[in-house]
Amino acid sequence: MGKIKVTACEIEGLYVIEPTVFPDSRGYFMETYNQNDFKEAGLTMNFVQDNQSMSVKGVLRGLHFQKQFPQGKLVRVIKGSVFDVAVDLRSSSQTYGKWFGVELSAENKKQFYISEGFAHGFLVLSDEAEFAYKCTDFYHPGDEGGILWNDKEIGIEWPIEADMNLTISEKDQAWSGIRDTFKF
């Protein structure tokens, strides 16, 4: 029996993964990735790169993807909390243009697997968040694509608090909407 609970989302290719946590008086232990457990759950991706970032409250990163070298991502938060989002860009998909979001936090220890063919982004909800993720392909400079984070056609319901000051990079503010973007 595997040590993870895998929940398929309403959009094919997205999964929320909850590891088994073993707490004791010293703290806790958990496996964040075990290839055998993933295979048992039907997830057979191969990871080639690990990344980590730190951001402060109100930072919105995304929505990003790579065009010719798409990446699947297994994302999690190791400090703080974020609202994590994936948008389906697979032109042959019945859910093209649909989005799914989930809160990931150090407290809930949930992970989110986003298959190739999706744009990805997140909003930091806590004062500070450390975000870690595994990728199925390497980062390729010059292959980046993106969608505007607040594209009305997609309609992502970001949990932006009234007193939250958004911080979005110039690059992320300049992306166009889904109608004018790359399709897989």
Residue 182 confidence (pLDDT)? 83
> Looking at 15, 96, 133, 140, which residue is catalytic?
133
Tell me the CATH architecture of domain 46-180: Sandwich (2.60)
Helices (H), the chain: 35-40, 170-174
* Separation of alpha carbons 71 and 118, rounded Å: 9
Of these residues, 28, 33, 64, 120, which one is catalytic?
A: 64
Q: What is the pLDDT of residue 181?
A: 84
Tell me the average confidence (pLDDT) per consecutive run of 10 residues in the chain, 184 residues long.
86 97 94 94 96 98 97 98 98 96 98 98 98 97 96 97 95 95 84
Q: What is the per-residue pLDDT for 184?
A: 87
133 has catalytic annotation: yes
Kindly list the domain boundaries of the chain, sorted by start residue.
46-180
CA 53, CA 177: separation in Å to the nearest integer? 25
